[in-house]
Amino acid sequence: MLTARSEDADVVAGLELGADDYLTKPFSPRVLLARIKAVLRRQQGEADAEMTVVYDDVVIHPGRYEVGAGDQLVNLTPTEFHILHFFGTTTGMGVHPLSDRRCVRGEDAEVTERSVDVHVAAIRRKLGEHRDLIETLRGVGYRFRAS
In order along its 147 residues, the chain shows pLDDT tens digits of 889 998 999 988 888 888 888 888 998 889 888 888 888 777 765 655 567 888 888 898 887 889 999 888 999 988 888 888 888 887 666 665 555 555 555 545 566 667 778 888 999 999 999 998 888 888 777 888 865
What is the architecture, at CATH level 2, of domain 53-144? Orthogonal Bundle (1.10)
- Determine the pLDDT at residue 88: 82
Residue 9 in 3-state DSSP?
helix
- Determine the pLDDT at residue 56: 80
Of 40, 43, 65, 68, which is closest to residue 54 (Cα–Cα)? 68
Contacts of 13 (CB under 8 A, 6+ apart): none
Q: How far apart are CA 64 and CA 147, in angstroms?
A: 25
- Determine the pLDDT at residue 125: 95
Asked whether the CA dihedral 65, 74, 126, 91 is positive or negative, the reply is negative
Positions of CATH 1.10.10.10 in the chain: 53-144
- Determine the pLDDT at residue 122: 93
* CA dist list (Å): 2 to 24, 100, 113: 6, 32, 38
